[in-house]
Amino acid sequence: MIELETSLLDGLGRVDAHTDTFTGVQVDSRRIAPGDLFVAVDRGSEFVKDALARGAVATLVPHDAFAALARIARAVRERSSARVVAITGSMGKTSTKDILAALTSPSTHTIAAEASFNNEIGVPLTLCRLEEDTEVCILELAMRGFGQIAELAELARPQIGVVTNVGPVHLELVDSLAGVARAKGELIATLPAGGTAIVPDDFPISRDDVEVVRVGPPQSTRVGGRTVVGGVSFNFTAQHQIQNAATALAALDALGLPRPESVDVDFARWRGEEQELAGGGLLINDAYNANPVSMRAALAYLAERAGDRRRVAILGDMAELGRTGPAYHREVGAAASELGVDELLAVGELARGYLDGGVPGRWVANVHDALRQVDELVRPGDAVLVKASRAVGLEAVAAALTQIPTTT
């Protein structure tokens, strides 16, 4: 990280500094490296001694953790000449970030957000990883309501803003698809004059002082178990990743960087991970999150990958859909039926609606009850999709199927 003075922390809270400067920021004491500042978030004050023992040169117990992290990150950003790409959208933003990082890394020093570091803690932590020679920083911006993206973008000051798509997500917070578009549009509103907005074909933009790149449905081919998009060979076959790849390529072009012939993308955990199961079976672990559009895409991918295998879907609640939640769950259940799902295990109260769509299946209240059903539900040779909103915790079911620990 770019070196900062511990005097920057004055007025932010209780500071214990053993040097005048620090060169890294962590909120998890287990990740401390020599030279780091430890910022105690939530119960972090209980781990100050641990952070010091691990080599922290300073600790901060802040009055307001979010404000403290923002001040530190803003100082780093102001001293960096890196070009910043900020990505938001209803779905696919983490995968698009992962794809873009794989595309830029061969030709430039790139810093990209870890996993889904996309909120008022994750975005500052990513900015705090900027180094003197960092050329590109790729951020992911989350939305839990109006104003959040604007605040994160004001901190990050991106030159390139990417909106992957607009879909029925967080409707209980912004009420409608128009509200989703308005919230995502906060990113475009913060771009500097001369910046670049990369958006879907139908995304509304009223500014005339930014370059607008619209990404329509891309052409693609499959060659030897890989997918070719825009002349680049990628190590995936999932249909929904094709649009993400096209969006990432548009950002790569906006950065003026060359397109490599081939890249292997290291996607974040629990986003379409595939693993073999007993008897030639297949697990598609997409347990990180879910919304109506991504559910349909995942079910279509299950149908494609299953081939002649029996199709089993273990689906949990889709959260934050507000009053539209029951209808969307019924629609996803109908899609499962149309795509030939042989049996569906619905997990959670809203998930009952899947079974109203006509798909064969059963219901349980929570992930603990789902775990009791796994041995009876899944047979050797089955193709199994596991997907739900993050709060449901269905990664535990995927782990039970593969006997892989669920710790992150």
For the chain, domains (ranges, CATH) are: 4-64 (3.40.1390.10), 80-263 (3.40.1190.10), 273-402 (3.90.190.20)
**CA geometry: angle at 51 spanning 47 and 55, to 5°?**
170
Beta strands in 317-360 (DSSP E): 343-347
- End-to-end, the C-alpha distance of the chain in Å comes to 24
pLDDT truncated to tens, each residue of the chain (408 aa)?
A: 899 999 999 999 999 999 999 999 999 999 999 999 999 999 999 999 999 999 999 999 999 999 999 999 999 999 999 999 999 998 899 999 999 999 999 999 999 999 879 999 999 999 999 999 999 999 999 987 899 999 999 999 999 999 999 988 777 778 888 999 999 999 999 999 999 999 999 999 999 999 999 999 999 999 988 999 999 999 998 888 999 999 999 999 999 999 999 999 988 877 888 999 989 999 999 998 899 989 999 999 999 999 999 999 999 999 888 888 999 999 999 999 999 999 999 999 999 999 998 999 999 999 999 999 999 999 999 999 999 998 999 999 999 998 844 444
**Residue 333 pLDDT:** 97
Amino acid at site 125: L
The alpha carbon of 135 is separated from its chain's Cα centroid by a whole number of angstroms, namely 22
pTM: 0.83
Helix/strand/coil for 142 = coil
Structure tokens belonging to residue 342: 């042989």
Helix/strand/coil for 208 = coil
Place of tokens 């001293």: 79
Instruction: Give the DSSP H or E segment for 371.
Output: helix 367-377
Which conformational region is residue 392 in: left (phi greater than 0), alpha (psi within -120 to 50 degrees), or beta?
Answer: alpha
**Residue 76 pLDDT:** 97
In contact, 280 and 268? CB cutoff 8 Å:
no
| Burial class of residue 206, CB neighbours in 10 A (0-12, 13-18, 19+) | exposed
**CA geometry: angle at 31 spanning 27 and 34, to 5°?**
100
Q: How far apart are CA 4 and CA 379, in angstroms?
A: 57
Amino acid at site 43: R
Structure confidence by residue, pLDDT tens digits, 158-169: 999 999 999 887
Beta strands in 224-310 (DSSP E): 226-229, 232-234, 262-263, 273-277, 281-286
Beta strands in 188-252 (DSSP E): 196-200, 211-215, 220-223, 226-229, 232-234
* CB contact set of 42 (below 8 Å; sequence gap of 6+): 65
**Residue 269 pLDDT:** 77
